[in-house]
Amino acid sequence: MNLSSSGKTLVIAEKPSVALDIVRALTPVSGKFDKHDDYHENERYIVTSAVGHLLEITAPEAYEVKRGKWSFAHLPVIPPYFDLKPLDKSKGRLNAIVKLARRKDVTEIVNACDAGREGELIFRLIEQYAAGTDKSGQPKPLGKPIKRLWLQSMTPQAIREGFAQLRSDEQMRPLADAARSRSEADWLVGINGTRAMTAFNSRDGGFFLTTVGRVQTPTLAIVVEREEQIRRFRARPYWEVHATFAAQAGSYAGRWFDPDFRKPQGEGADAELRPERLWDEARARAIVAAVQGQPGEVREESKPATQACGLLYDLTTLQREANARYGFSAKTTLALAQALYEKHKVLTYPRTDARALPSDYLGPVQQAMQALADSDLDHLAPYAAQALREGWVRPTKRVFDDSKVSDHFAIIPTGQLPKGLSEAEQKLYDLVVRRFIAVFFPPAEFWVTTRITRVRVSEAVHHFKTEGRVLVKPGWLAVYGREAAADLEGAQAGDKGQPLVAVQPGETVRTEQARLEARQTRPPARFTEATLLAAMEAAGKLVEDEELRLAMADKGLGTPATRAAIIEGLLEEKYLVREGRELVPTPKAFQLMTLLRGLGVEELSRPELTGEWEHKLAQIERGQLSRSAFMRDIAAMTERIVAKAKAFDRDSVPGDYATLAVPCPQCGGVVKENYRRYACTGADGQGAGCGFSLPKAPGGRILAPQEAETLLREHRLGPLEGFRSKLGRPFVAELRLKAEDGSWRLAFDFGDDGGSGDDAAAVDVDALPSLGPCPQCGSPVVQLGHHYVCRRAVATAEQPRPGCDFKSATTILQQPIEPPQMAKLLREGHTDWLEGFVSNRTRRRFKARLVWDAQAGKVGFEFEPRAPGAARGRARRSAG
């Protein structure tokens, strides 16, 4: 055991659970620990922990430019050093660690964060923050020796051995350099790329936020490329011939195929060709007519086959399966797994990319299996007991493999039994436990039969294939019970899993029926979260350069811990939308890809960038490349991206643009899309047109071609979400196309006219149902368009001058106000408590109810009291 000769050693783990494991391991050799709020302490050690990242890097204040003021004048931002900013949610924990690190009796610090690049970064940033800065603002050394505890296993013996073999700060310096370099490079490319693309897109005014990032943008490119494939896809008809054959023991189905078919190879090969597809209907009909009622010769081959259970879960495979099986988003699965780990303590650490366990972890696995066997989980306990009874829980390389364990090992149950789980938590827990038990069961055994029926007609021979699979021994499938059995038994005739009737050797069968099935080729499937996670994980396969592909082999785009956040970020920035389980790219996503291609900075959208970085970071870790050289390359790349965006001076970025089906409202000419606008191109669609055009991204929200057509046809569109003010704040509005002085002008309509005007006058407001009496004049209040208005507030032929001004929007701060809520406000003076309001200033959700403020003469907010007895002091403010 490596003990400091005097003073105490501060041990900083990455998570509270790891700190507790360290305390338990050290107690037998260094004495009992006293528990404090944020740490444990004995005569030799103080053990504390972070809760993941506590700090983020940021530019010094002199280099920071507020959102909304971003322009090329302030780019590129390449600060000489980075400041650190505490994360709001964990300031208390950070301050506690800093206080411990600065204690005079602490003479040595041990980095016990997770064994890997991110664990190293978490510790190094804490160390830097605790040390402070010198007068020039530069970080200064902490002045205390640093050691590294490197653990691949969390058993007490492994922890004690780790303390006996602490690594020196010098040994860890290359990994620390790689960790800082990755973090700073991501910042430089993300911040400068985002600000450059935003500045480019905001040249015509407004604030068009256009975020890019090393992981985010290639992920988006994968989805956009798939959508482009779908759009280019043209369905092609083909035909299949299916037959039913009569044997002595009964009937069986078969499908025609070409035994001489060879899959086409090379670039441009037709991927739609299959041995069972016929592309000529006449030929297909001829086969049906020829084989009808004809005898057939049977040849079959049967052989045993096995199927092993899938490996233990890492986070990405767990997210994929939970999405496919239950529809959980990646974010939801991570939150559930985190709760099962932190709150319920029934699963191990979930943010892992490993699917194996350390070689010394057999003991904890057996204990967890025994706990499950002894539990009252009736659907799982018998299988856990069987695995132990049969001696299947043993150290196999498939499960226990140190070479396949990275910073963390696979997700498995801890052995602590769950209590009070929600339905969703229970589903995810069962998913992990079934896999944990099943992975130790023997493979499932099948008897697979391939039957070829040859029907000879004159000189031609037509071949039909039938495949059958019989489950001989269920093995691990037994753990999944009925689900797996249904998968096999529910197969349709002609499918691979169908039960086959027997045929005798040399038996001749008869073609009982032959039929033609007309089909069409299908476009590629859109991504779901499950398939996008898989694509992110396997993104290295898309890289052509072999060296870079190898560098990405085990990494892909993002990490298991960040992939869910990347997808959620793309959704939040309106690059993607969810349609059911599918993820669909928006016009904003296509616009970004067009921009990156047009500016010649496509590296931002390719996984090669990650591959190149991983290759160089690995070189830094091995001492083959200096941190300064890597960062010089990143700075040069950043400057190049900004320079290309700044220097682009053409009116439109080259791209694949739409021609609208609705004519120009001014001259009837053809309206075409370009990068920035929908513009009239004259009657022939080739000229300069009459000068009419629409901005393509008013208020920073891109109009899709279909939306532009609606606006041209109906002269109004919305209300729409996703607009941003010049300061970057979101707002909701309707778009109006108005004729002024012989030309058409686009304007935002916030509904401030209370429903008055020409359009309102055309509405018979007396026919609209009343929601209740106006709080100002007592007249009926009705819903008119996107407002609730008093009938007397609407100008009509009988009432040219409105006699009241009561109005309230049907959507306030992104919270829909349904008619029953407005009726309650009119009846009782307030709505229910509503939780969906979103602050324009902070962009945070808040809870309030709408009230009628008689003194101000308008609808306002009322907030819940913060403490008992505070009802009289409820805050109110205007909702208008």
The 10 Å Cβ neighbour count of residue 404 is 18
The 10 Å Cβ neighbour count of residue 867 is 7
| In the block, residue with structure tokens 């941003």 | 724
Q: How many angstroms separate the CA atoms of 320 and 336, rounded?
A: 14
| In the block, residue with structure tokens 């476009």 | 523
Residues 142-178: b if buried by 16+ CB within 10 A, e if exposed: bebebbbbbbbbbbbebbbebbeebbeeeebebbbbb
Name residues whose C-beta falls within 8 Å of residue 800's C-beta, 6 or more positions apart in sequence.
none
3-state secondary structure of 438: helix
Q: How many angstroms separate the CA atoms of 572 and 331, rounded?
A: 13
Smallest Cα–Cα separation from 650: which of 598, 594, 698, 596? Answer: 598
**Residue 349 designated active-site:** yes
Long-range contacts of 539-543 (CB under 8 A, 24+ apart): 539/218, 539/222, 539/607, 539/610, 540/607, 540/611, 542/607, 543/607, 543/608, 543/611
Q: Which is catalytic among the residues 349, 383, 429, 675?
A: 349
Helices (H), 165-215: 169-201
Q: How many angstroms separate the CA atoms of 72 and 203, rounded?
A: 10
Q: Give the relative orientation of helices 330-342 and 315-326 as an angle to the nearest 10 degrees.
A: 120
Nearest 5°: phi and psi at 251?
Answer: -105, 155
3-state secondary structure of 741: coil
Stretch (H or E) spanning 751: none
Instruction: Report which residue type is found at 396.
Output: T
Q: How many angstroms separate the CA atoms of 47 and 39, rounded?
A: 6
Q: How many angstroms separate the CA atoms of 575 and 113, rounded?
A: 35
Contact 735, 728 (CB under 8 A): no
Q: How many angstroms separate the CA atoms of 56 and 77, rounded?
A: 17
Q: How many angstroms separate the CA atoms of 440 and 433, rounded?
A: 12
Q: What residues are labeled active site?
A: 349
